[in-house]
Every structure is written in structure tokens, then in C-alpha cells.
Structure 1
């Protein structure tokens, strides 16, 4: 009885804009972005990110690179919707981690758009260059540009951080089990240490990321309308 006024005060703060449709869109976006990133990564021809690898990929499979760029761009839109919607669910313990994950997710979306744009530019560079040597020189100069390292690469890393921080935030709020954090952590480790031109490692990494996102999306979809509108009441009886 002593806690009843606190519960009532919490449930009275209804977010009128948080509809059931919003909940399902958030869940679908969260799972969809991970799936599309995995699909895009598997569609693209393997390369190590160096000039020679980029040239070979763009010259041998420009269509696959183009499709990957389109898929990654769509996934970036879903990523913003998904991480922001998921972060609002976490109140109390894990709240700061959740909003940090949302921030990193938005940054990661920007990084993915930059990556997709660079893929399309690479195709044009290869097509327009008079020789392989000329194309390699141009690509190498872009890769070695300090601005790329200082601006774009942190955005790419930010996505990986969001993949880890959001499950941790859900776990701290008791919205997800510890094994979900383990999936995300393993995917992060593979992102850091696994070579980018090894298809098997990439497939495992993407599968783990999809499984993580699907678990969080399922938890969001299972929330009641009241819990979605009033996330601070989740777990209250």
C-alpha cells in the first residue's frame, strides 16, 4: 500500500503519441536494420578495404556494390527509427546506456550512408580511370586522407558500440536476458578482430547481430499498450 501512490504517479504520465503502431514499427525497424545490414554485407564482394581490394570489387562486381549501397542506405533509415524507439523503453537502470546506444546508432547510420556513398564513388573512379594504376592511386589517396579516419571511421565504430550498449541497457532494466548481451558482445569482437574479406566470419557476425536485434525487437513487441505508453511501469504489479 505504501508504494501505491508512486505506482499511480508513474502510470499517470501517459505518452499519448506512443501508439501500438509505433511499438510495432520500432520492433520491425530494429530487426529489419540488422537483417538488411547483414544482407548488404553478404551481397557485396569481399574486400579488405585497401585500394587493390576496392578496385577488384568495383571492377568485377559493380552491380553487387550498387545493390549493397542501396540496402545499406535503407537500413540506415530503419536504424534511426529502431534505436530511438527502443531507447525510450528503458527507464531507470540502463537509461543512460540506452540513450548512448541511440546516439551511437544515429552516428552509425550516418557512417553507413557515408560508406554506401563511397562504394558508389569507387565504381565511378574505376570506370573513369584510364588504368588500374591510376584508379589505385586515387583510391589510395582517399583511404589515406586524414579526414576519412577522423570523421567517417568513428561513425562506423559508433554503430558497433550501439549494437553492444542497447542490449546491455535492456539487460540492466531486466528487459532482456544476459545471453542477448553475449550475442552482441561476440558480434562486436568479430567486427573488431575478424578480417573483412573472410565470408564465413562476416556471416557469423551478421547472424549474431540479427539474433541480438530480433531478441530486442521481440521483447518490444511483447510489451502491452500500457507499458509502451508508460515504460516506467514495466515490471510493476
Structure 2
């Protein structure tokens, strides 16, 4: 039995049809005899819409209240997905960032993860449940909700994988892996089977949108291999991992 952490972005949970689709992928992973933790982003442009509403009412909002508002987007996603899994006959539970034990700094809208205490997740996994965790969020030392900024859900997934000592961390996106260039702009771009943390970090810092640099740095620190996969096409993705260690081992 493997422990898998799967992360799905906003386009993957944009509507009911897509939520049903990712739930079928999650069910397949669970039916393979695995324990499954799923990190979800907010649906589509939910975060942008919430931000627009906030700025309409207050052009100079406080960070605390913004984070209180913005964390609701991911909570909608995880509860809808858990309801979908229940209808499919699976036991599932949704947890907010703070319920999942994610502790952060109090840098509102750009908080950093300080620690993860996964006891609640482990308890639910032991019950045989699929666990959905809200990405992009946590709680500070004073109990205030916080958000992690751009790439926050990817960072959440890697942090959970490290804390749980997961066997697999898969990041599902709208592309089927990491390419030598943006395949939507360059038809000659080719998909990589694997890439080192260092090379991926360099691409992220030069504008590649596949993984945020904070996510890659965290994965490298804890040596968590990441598979970047498509949530729309069932094909192998790209592994982001420590290739130097592999070469030495061989």
C-alpha cells in the first residue's frame, strides 16, 4: 500500500463535470490499494472574483480580512469533491488548512508554512477515508487564517507529502508534463521524462508556470519526487527529482 498525495488546480475543479472526472482519477488511485490525500485549489477564477469584490468594497483591505475571504474558495472545492466521492460510494472527508495541521507565519496573503502536524489526516486515513485538504492556506500562531500566495496549493501538497512521508506526490495540471518550452507557444517543444530540482527551479524562476519556485525548493529540501501530470489526458507525466543522487546510486 502506498500513500499518495494528489494535487489538482483550479481548471481541474472548474465545474461539476470536471470534479466528477478528477474524482474518477482519485477513485482509481484508491482502488489500487493506496491511501489517498488530495489537495485542491479554488475553482476556476474564484480567487480573482473574491478579490475583485473585496476591492470594490474596500480599495485598501487589511491582509487578515482578505485571507479570511480568500480561504473560502478552496473550502468550496474540497467539500464539493468530498460530496462527489460520497455519491460514488467512497468514504471521504474534507479538511481546511488549519484542520489539516498546517501552521504558518502571520504574513497575510504571503504566509510561509512553518510546520505541518498531520495527526488529523493520519486518523482519517486509518479509517479508510479519502482525505481532501484545502490548498493555499493555513493558520498562524494566533488562530488567524492565512493564505500562501501564488503557487500555494502546490506548496501545500509538497509540505503534506513531506510530513506524511508519502510515496508519491502528483501535481495534476492542464498540461501533461514539463516541456523544453511552452508547448502552446512553441510547436517544437518536447516533453521531458524527468528533470532535476535545480533545472526545474531555474525554469520556474524564469517564468515557467508549471510549478512555483517555493514548491520546488521545498521538494528539494525534503527530497520529495514530484510527478507533473495532466488531469485531462491519461499519459505519463514528468518527474521532478534529485537526478544527481540517482546517477551516484547507479
In the superposition, the TM-score normalised over structure 2's length comes to 0.24
Greater fraction strand: 2
**Which structure has the larger Rg over C-alpha atoms?**
1
More helix by share: 1
Ranked by relative contact order (alpha carbons within 8 Å, sequence separation 6 or more), the top structure is: 1
TM-score relative to the length of structure 1: 0.25
